[in-house]
Structure formats: structure tokens, C-alpha cells
Amino acid sequence: MVKSKNMLMYIVKRLLIMVVMIFFVLVATFFLTNLMEVNPVLNKLSSDPRVPYEIYLEERARIGADKPILERFLIYLNNFFLGNWGNSYIVAEGVPVTTLIASIFPKTIELVIIPIIVIPILSVKLGISSAKYRNKWQDNIIRGIIMLGVCIPIFFLATLVQYFASNFLNVYTYGVINFETSSANSINIDYDYRWTGFRLIDAILFNDQALLQDSLVHLILPSVASIIVSLAGITRQTRASMLDVMRKDYVRTARAKGVAEKDVINKHSLRNALIPTSNEIVGLVASLLVGSLFLEIIFNYKGMGWYLFAAIQGGDYVVVSGIVIVDTIIILSGTLVADILYTIIDPRIVY
């Protein structure tokens, strides 16, 4: 009872801290974006160099860009807490930011859903094997994979994967394995129904096998790049935790009693080794959602990362602020969930 009360108080305290942090992120994002040397009005009107200067001034006045920055911030802050995050000016002209984010967020989730499922399972398996066969050839191979994931930036690896798929697989398999690497979906696939916003779920609900197959094919290459890079952290943590636990007295006692090595690892070592690893796994989900920017740009996958980059380039400040706020909420929520799960996995931890 006391522990439950303490946990409730801890969650309330963390939520209050989250609100304060989100506010500071909102303030910082607004001022940093508005102080950038990117003029959204010029970007909008630059397609026609004959536009009179008076039209430029009228357009600035229409979107409120002629007001002092502090006045603009107070207006934006008031509207933000009323649920009006503004309308996109460049990347999706006239569309409310909340509507835009609601429509593109499912695409980002779909992009990371395969890595979220595969990475924890595969990395824990690799970490266990690496610890079990310490300093043997299996361990050396796994540590090489870890080093590869740590050293290679995601944008570079994604480019290599894209180049390999488009220039080698398509050619040397005579088109049997054919990846369209420059878009999120085939242009000849119709997608007129959007019940959930998730292409995979809608394809299953409507039994659209062509859409389902097309969506899965276009997720393979980004998933491969993401898995290779993201494996390193959890695998390294699992290996270190397993090596630490396997030196404990209770593990030595189990071996001395003649317990099979398989049971020593799975029953006596793994559960305790997963306590610090669980933090990495929960953090992985948040980092994949937030860190999909490079993948979306390289594979032209129009999710939150792609729109964030386009909004920064075009000076669409309200879109930048909206996406950054959502990313902040995801990261803070992920850390809170990780801390709560930590107490469930290890009852010795009390907040």
C-alpha cells in the first residue's frame, strides 16, 4: 500500500516536471525557429519574381510576421493552450498543425514498428550468446556487429542499403527482387480509404493484398538500416549485464549443484540481467520514433521526420514547433514508462 502511494506520488511529480519541460521546449523552439534566417514569405513568393513588394508586405501582415517577436509568441502561446497550434504555411498550406501531425504520425509508427519488434528479441539473443561464448569466435563476430552499429551513422548506412538494393539486387536477380527505393509506396497503388491512417492496418481491414504487400516491401530497406544501427546499444548492455550476473554467487552455486547450463542462463541469469536492459528497450522505442528523420528523408517516406526537415527548410515555424513538442512528449513519456517498468521488474527499487 505504501509502495503504491509512493509510486502514485512519483508519477504525479514526474508529470508536473514534464509539463514544465514541455513549456521550456515550446519557448526555446519558438524563439529559435523565428530567429532563423529563413523567410517563409519569400520562400512562398519566390516562384514568381515579379510579385510586387506591396504583396510581400501584405502577406507578412496576413500571417502576423510583421509583429514583434514577443507579441507573436504571446499570441502563439495563448492559441497553443487553447488547442490551436496554428496552420501550416509551406509544407501543407492551410492545414492545421494538429491535423497534419495526426495524419503523418501513423506513417512514422509504421516505419519503426518492424525494428521495435525485431531489435529487442534479436539484440537480447545476441547479447546472451556473446556473454555465453566470451572471447570465442562467436563473441568476436557479435562484438564486430556491435562496433559496426556504433560506428556507422544511420544516414550513411541507409544510403548504402538503398544503393545496394537499387543497383545490385534489382540487376543481378533480373528483377525478381525489386525494391522501389525512392518512395514510401508505389505510385500505381490506390489508397483511397483511410480508416485508421495506418496503411498496413487498413490493408488488412479491407483485405487489400496488393496494398499490404506494397507497404511491407517499402518498409524492408528502412527497417534493415534501422535494425543494424540500433542493435548495438541493447546487445552491448545485455552482454555486459549477463557477464556481471554470471559472476554472482547464486549462479556459481547453481552450476555447482549441477544445474544445466541452459537453465543457469535462462532461469538464473537472464531475468536479473534484463533489469538494466529494460531501460534500453523502452528508450529504444522513443529514440526510433524521434530518430526516424534521416530514414524518412533518404527513403522519401513522408512521416514526421520528413515534414520536420521540410518545415525547417521552408521556414514553416508552427509545423516545426508542433512536431518538436510531440517528439518531446514521446521522449519524456518513454523515460517515465521505463522508470515505472523498472520497479515492476526489480521490486527492490522504490521511488
In a domain, 328, yes or no: yes
The per-residue pLDDT for 187 is 47
Domain that residue 128 falls in: 104-315+323-345
The per-residue pLDDT for 18 is 92
**Domains of the chain: total:** 1
Rounded to 10 degrees, the C-alpha dihedral 121/215/282/280 comes to 60
Measured distance CA(58)–CA(20) in Å, rounded:
37
Could you report the per-residue pLDDT of 168-178, keeping only the tens digit for each?
A: 766 555 555 55
Measured distance CA(215)–CA(204) in Å, rounded:
11
The per-residue pLDDT for 267 is 77
More confident residue, 17 or 253: 17
The conformational region for residue 207 under phi > 0 = left, psi -120 to 50 = alpha, else beta, is left
Could you report the per-residue pLDDT of 250-308, keeping only the tens digit for each?
A: 888 888 888 887 888 877 788 788 877 877 777 787 778 777 888 888 888 888 989 99
In a domain, 243, yes or no: yes
- The answer to whether 230 and 126 are in contact (CB under 8 A) is no
50 pLDDT band (50/70/90 cuts)? confident
Measured distance CA(211)–CA(184) in Å, rounded:
12
Query: What predicted TM-score, i.e. pTM, was given to this entire model?
Result: 0.83
The per-residue pLDDT for 314 is 86
Task: Report the percent of the chain where pLDDT is more than 70.
Answer: 89
The per-residue pLDDT for 177 is 56
What CATH number does the domain containing 126 carry? 1.10.3720
Measured distance CA(265)–CA(273) in Å, rounded:
10
Mean pLDDT across the chain = 82
In a domain, 26, yes or no: no
